Structure 1
Amino acid sequence: MPQTIILMGVSGVGKSTLGKMLAEKLKLAFFDADDFHSEANISKMNTGLPLNDDDRKLWLENLAENIKKWSDGAVLACSALKEKYRQTLIQHAEKPVKWVYLYEDYEMIKSRMEQRKDHYFKPELLKSQFDTLEPPAYGIHIKVNKSPEENLKKIMNELERPHIGLIGLGVMGKSLALNMASKGIPVSVYNRDFKDVEVDIAKNFAAEHEETYIFPWFNDLQKFVASLPKPRNIMIMVKAGAAVDAVINELLPVLDAGDLIIDGGNSHFKDTAKRIKMLGEKDIYFLGTGISGGEEGALKGPSIMPGGSKVAYERAGEVLEKIAARDPWGDACCTYIGPEGSGHFVKMLHNGIEYGEMQLIAEFYHLLRFFCGMDTSAIADLFAEWNTELRSYLLEISIDILRQKEENDYLLDKILDVAGQKGTGGWSTEAALELGVPLDTITAAVLARNLSAFKADRIKASKKYHFKTVGENVPSREELFRVYRSVMIINHSIGFELLRAASKEYNWDLNLSEIARIWTGGCIIKSGFMEELVNIFKDHHSHLLLQDKISDELKNINFAKVLSFALENACPMPLTSAAATYLFGFSSQQSSANMIQAQRDYFGAHTFERIDKNRGEFFHFNWKKPD
């Protein structure tokens, strides 16, 4: 796309030299702003007097009119020392303008100026230029401390680097912006100003990090969008739902065809599909992008799950892959997931598996602490022992939690036992119901959080029910570990089967091995088992529980010892119970569903299939005997 590039800075930084080299490299026309000065301006500078704003006014407006005419793009060397000068220059621009700010320290520039001969700009005017200079808070900044050839190479590297704008400086937004900046990706930031609620968020963020990174900041959305090079790449990090639509509606009037919006929040996959369709009709790209890893992951490298058009991913993929975590093999934990809302569906299911893993750890901690007689420190040590094999991030952080004290008490004991949630677990259950896929463990984890919310009623019930505890036949550490790992495997298998069903139903062609791979680093559910799944799904394309390696491990697990102990002691273990029940049901040649079909046919004439007839043939029976 044709573009105008303006090289700016004080006299002596090499604007003209680098400008000509850059123009030749990009096959663009070159113009020197000095050639547009009036005779009066040149005469004044020859006498050693600096130009004032009145002197510059006609010069800048003349340049602005010429920039408008450069339809094929151009490179312009111009001092443009003040922000108002720069805004005047681009006031009529109809094509993208990129700024390159060239700088060096005063003494170095002065030395260069003193060596120049036969130039109307006198070295004594340099001090006034440095006094006037207002370095831009945007564009490419190049310190010209190398040879012209090396400085040109630095400019080209920066020009070829993708630029992105980020909207929403909450915890995740700030961390992602810092991540991008640390990878050398130019990023502009915007956050609304909302009286007494959100004030100077973007300004303060940029100021806080100004010694390390340059963040062009905005609280005016139109100016934010106008500052981005075209075609624009804009990531929005706001709360899922109405807030996303509100931002899109604000953006639409100021976007152009070919611009790209990336939604990095936890949006519902159906909402994402609608947005892709709506924006596609306006020739605007949209990527629904799941991001996992929390604040630390967003800062240091998350797992990223982009879904939408392949063309949109090719635009944004370089940025997303640069900021993503690395898997154990050194590749980015980011891959193109598929079309429509597939990226957000995969992130939703990631969170569903996460719900299950968190509940699994919580209920084993509860069993060990209150029914097996282990103290908090001993449980932490046991989990650490287990984690040498499991290498689970969630188990790792749980060990830290168990060991954290406040004064002489464990902090965990001071936390109210009411679990919060943001909806993605429940969305997973809803999706499973729509697709007709069992989701036992994830649903059990969601419902366990729901039950925890009834704290007041639970307190009352605890005084009415006094279930007798036995406290005998405590399972061994080995028995507990094997059941724990088995439940973890079943929870993953249930989650991946939902992905397989969605891929088939929506024609997404999901690659389960690739999804497992990008979940081996940067995300909440990374573990040693996830690394195993990469190869398992690469070599096998059937249900995880049908793989020989998995079935050989699970068929010898004695769930009864752990679950019977829990039941005898009135210890709720909903996820472990759900996992065992799912495995028993999945591995049962004969299920109880024939009774259900008979019941349905009895009261509703819903018909049934017979084992002595072909599948697809349906029958009805008059069950009620005549009087």
Structure 2
Amino acid sequence: MIIFVMGVCGSGKSTIGDALAQKLNIPFFDGDDFHPQENIDKMSKGEPLNDNDRAGWLAALNAKAKEEKNAIFACSALKETYRTILFEGLTNGHLVYLKGSYELIDKRMKARKNHFMPPGLLDSQFATLEEPTYGIQTSIDQSPDLIIKDIMNQLTADKQEFGLIGLGVMGKSLARNLAGKGFKLALYNRFVKDSEEKVAEKFIEEFDVFNEAKGFEDLKAFVNSLARPRKIFLMVNAGKITDYVIEDLKPLLEEGDIIIDGGNSHFKDTERRIDELAKNGLHFVGSGVSGGEEGALKGPSIMPGGHQEAYEKIAPYLEAIAARDARGNACCTYIGKGGSGHFVKMIHNGIEYAEMQLIAESYALLRYVNGLSPEAISGVFDEWMKAGLSSYLLETSQKLLLKKEGEDFLIDLILDKAGNKGTGSWTTVVMAELGIPATMISSALFARYISSFKDKRTQYTAHFNAETKSGNPINVEALKEAYALARLVNHQQGFELIKRASDEFSWELNLSELARIWTNGCIIRSELMEGLIGQLKEGTDFLLNTPNITAQLGSLREVAVTAITSGVSVPCHLSAVDYLNAHLYNHHTANMIQAQRDFFGAHTYKRVDDPNGPSHHTIWE
């Protein structure tokens, strides 16, 4: 984008041009700096320039514009013949005319000091001026801020302000959300003969909210429809597909443009993309988006990370469509540098895995040990909701248990093979890399893996004639307390993992603010999360602030024992018990591990009587 800001001397070309360049994040050049010395000497003597004087100057400005490709120039450009020279060969040039009366500009000129053009030349300027009948025209009889606002409004009048690529379920919901907030959208979906044709155009026709939207299946036309700096939200599959789309976009974009990845990308891929695109002068923002189809439409929790200057340009859009917390603030905030946005979304999903598994385990105990119907279990969950355990996941579980298909509860017709999209396994890997025992997340992940071996499990059940053991029913109050404590352990593990990553990668994450944006819109929103906002200002160790933990631990153990003796798999409840046993009772096991390591590998060990002293090795036999 090349913009020439024109007007007679004293109209404010340099001031407005510089401010506009900062707004658009592109270079600014004052045309006066390109005058040869003979022109400056002539004007300093009060002699007006003729067309021959200006020819070389205008050609130099045109050459510089072609060299820069993206820049703003302040230049008087008084005649149409001058403007023809300036715009020769430029395919994306814009003219901005600062229009003002002779009286106003004369007053300004007389107030100026140390400028080579004396006020006396203003008559010649107005005599030479041929006002353009095209381009952007704005009155200078207003503040610079209002002038800039007027120019930006005109500059983008025929452009779309925000672009979205990928019209799957989430992409469509986000597009409707954005359009509903009044944003002018450009929507793009790929063209696939006989299966994906005119997807964007047809989608726009479905909803009145898209009255100012434009649909595309040609990527170049989509990019060219967007106002600078371009802001493009990707809602495509993570991994190679995201890379392919970025590669297609790169040659079409210009310095300062912003790509936002709203998919579940791995945080290390995001950091690679940030570095690679920076070489082209492009910004890349990795943004977690949580809330599912309904959240995307009505207000998700949004977790953008990357360069803060890029976030500030897209914040009005993301914060407008985000859910609202209890105080009405957007559940969207700048997370931090690098891949931090996608990292915290990954941990969000890991916490979600364990939360879902805990509910599933509670359901299994009530169903198979206590023999309750889905309807009765729904009633139990409803009571838990009213007793301070309210959460989105528990609420959805309570509702889905009531769904019937004919005479059957739908839950009984669903095959017990759980899927996963990768974020749980990524969390487990990074947990091991950072040395944080987020054991409940990994237990939930492995429970899903085991569920996928449906044929093997069926074979084992038949071969060993296994069935749920009859015995004492689960104490429902104890189960509630066990569930509450296990959830607390899960959240502590998740936030400890985020804290370690923040320290390791120098992200400086605000965990309290992170909990705040997870209080609405996202899948793990809950009363518990509301309470963690304040606790996280003091640290990540929630268990220290749980006064009745020993009583709750008793309930958790009771539930664990009943589950084990009944033959019901409850890996997340057991993981919570083990985590608490290891932390609360400090029964030594690691000393045996260290002795074994030293015995067979001479790995050395520390001594109790000198824990900070030198390492020791023993010849054991």
> Considering the TM-score relative to the shorter chain, is it more than 0.5?
yes
Which residue is equivalent to 1:565? 562
Alignment check: 8 A CA contact 1:206 1:214 kept: no
Alignment check: 8 A CA contact 2:389 2:528 kept: yes
Aligned-partner Cα distance in 1 for 2:4–2:263: 34
Q: How does 1:226-375 map to 2 (within 5 A)?
A: 226-375=224-373
* CA shift in 2, pair 1:374/1:157, >3 Å: farther
Which residue is equivalent to 1:430? 429
Which residue is equivalent to 2:605? 608
Deviations 1:566-609 (A, max 9, x none): 11111110110001111111223343111111111111111111
Aligned-partner Cα distance in 2 for 1:407–1:97: 68
Alignment check: 8 A CA contact 1:90 1:97 kept: no
Which residue is equivalent to 2:52? none
Alignment check: 8 A CA contact 1:372 1:471 kept: no
* CA shift in 2, pair 1:71/1:373, >3 Å: closer
> What stretches of structure 1 of length at least 5 have no aligned partner?
6-24, 29-64, 75-88, 99-148
Indicate the RMSD between aligned Cα atoms, in angstroms: 3.0
Aligned-partner Cα distance in 2 for 1:208–1:304: 26
For the residue of structure 2 that corresponds to 1:199, the secondary structure is coil
* CA shift in 2, pair 1:604/1:315, >3 Å: same
Aligned-partner Cα distance in 2 for 1:591–1:485: 28
Which residue is equivalent to 2:489? 490
Give 1:617 deviation, angstroms.
2.0
Aligned-partner Cα distance in 2 for 1:610–1:424: 40
Aligned-partner Cα distance in 2 for 1:604–1:198: 61
Q: How does 1:219-230 map to 2 (within 5 A)?
A: 219-230=217-228
For the residue of structure 2 that corresponds to 1:286, the secondary structure is strand
Indicate the percent of aligned positions where both proteins have the same amino acid.
47
Alignment check: 8 A CA contact 2:160 2:225 kept: no
Aligned-partner Cα distance in 1 for 2:578–2:155: 57
Give 1:612 deviation, angstroms.
1.1
Aligned-partner residue type, residue 226 of structure 1: N
Aligned-partner residue type, residue 557 of structure 1: L
For the residue of structure 1 that corresponds to 2:371, the secondary structure is coil
Aligned-partner Cα distance in 2 for 1:575–1:384: 22
Aligned-partner Cα distance in 1 for 2:390–2:195: 41
603-612 or 414-423, larger mean C-alpha shift: 603-612
Aligned-partner residue type, residue 349 of structure 2: N
Which residue is equivalent to 1:40? none
For the residue of structure 1 that corresponds to 2:274, the secondary structure is helix
In the superposition, the TM-score normalised over structure 1's length comes to 0.75
Aligned-partner Cα distance in 1 for 2:160–2:333: 18
Which residue is equivalent to 2:463? 464
Alignment check: 8 A CA contact 2:200 2:215 kept: yes
Which residue is equivalent to 1:512? 511
Which residue is equivalent to 1:116? none
Give 1:421 deviation, angstroms.
0.5
Number of aligned residue pairs: 498
161-170 or 428-437, larger mean C-alpha shift: 161-170
* CA shift in 2, pair 1:90/1:373, >3 Å: farther
Give 1:196 deviation, angstroms.
3.4
For the residue of structure 1 that corresponds to 2:401, the secondary structure is helix
Aligned-partner Cα distance in 2 for 1:176–1:361: 29
Query: Is 1:552 matched up with 2:548?
Result: yes
Query: Is 1:579 matched up with 2:576?
Result: yes
Give 1:468 deviation, angstroms.
6.4
Aligned-partner residue type, residue 271 of structure 2: A
Give 1:363 deviation, angstroms.
1.0
Aligned-partner residue type, residue 375 of structure 2: S
Aligned-partner residue type, residue 528 of structure 2: F
Match of residue 171, structure 2, among 151, 170, 173: 173
Deviations 1:531-571 (A, max 9, x none): 00011112x1242223x2x2534554312211111111111
Alignment check: 8 A CA contact 2:553 2:577 kept: no
Aligned-partner Cα distance in 2 for 1:410–1:377: 9
Aligned-partner Cα distance in 1 for 2:246–2:305: 17
* CA shift in 2, pair 1:502/1:319, >3 Å: same
Aligned-partner Cα distance in 1 for 2:89–2:376: 69
* CA shift in 2, pair 1:468/1:291, >3 Å: closer
* CA shift in 2, pair 1:583/1:197, >3 Å: farther
Q: How does 1:382-531 map to 2 (within 5 A)?
A: 382-388=380-386, 389-467=388-466, 469-531=468-530
Aligned-partner Cα distance in 2 for 1:301–1:533: 22
For the residue of structure 1 that corresponds to 2:553, the secondary structure is coil
Which residue is equivalent to 1:56? none
Which residue is equivalent to 1:593? 590
For the residue of structure 2 that corresponds to 1:490, the secondary structure is helix
* CA shift in 2, pair 1:200/1:589, >3 Å: same
Deviations 1:197-255 (A, max 9, x none): 42221121122225653321111111111111111111111000001100110011111
Aligned-partner residue type, residue 376 of structure 2: A
Deviations 1:360-396 (A, max 9, x none): 1111111111111111110001101101222200011
Match of residue 541, structure 1, among 520, 536, 539: 539
For the residue of structure 2 that corresponds to 1:362, the secondary structure is helix
Aligned-partner Cα distance in 1 for 2:89–2:455: 64
Which residue is equivalent to 1:94? 92
Alignment check: 8 A CA contact 1:167 1:173 kept: yes
Alignment check: 8 A CA contact 1:305 1:343 kept: yes
Aligned-partner Cα distance in 2 for 1:208–1:73: 45
Alignment check: 8 A CA contact 1:96 1:230 kept: no
Give 1:320 deviation, angstroms.
0.7
For the residue of structure 2 that corresponds to 1:234, the secondary structure is strand
Give 1:406 deviation, angstroms.
0.6
For the residue of structure 1 that corresponds to 2:303, the secondary structure is strand
Aligned-partner Cα distance in 2 for 1:350–1:431: 13
Aligned-partner Cα distance in 2 for 1:615–1:300: 55
Aligned-partner Cα distance in 2 for 1:97–1:294: 45
Aligned-partner residue type, residue 417 of structure 2: V
Alignment check: 8 A CA contact 1:162 1:319 kept: no
Alignment check: 8 A CA contact 2:495 2:540 kept: no
388-397 or 195-204, larger mean C-alpha shift: 195-204
Deviations 1:84-138 (A, max 9, x none): xxxxx9996424699xxxxxxxxxxxxxxxxxxxxxxxxxxxxxxxxxxxxxxxx
Aligned-partner residue type, residue 213 of structure 2: F
Match of residue 620, structure 1, among 608, 617, 620: 617
Aligned-partner Cα distance in 2 for 1:158–1:278: 30
Aligned-partner residue type, residue 589 of structure 1: N
For the residue of structure 2 that corresponds to 1:403, the secondary structure is coil
Aligned-partner Cα distance in 2 for 1:306–1:314: 11
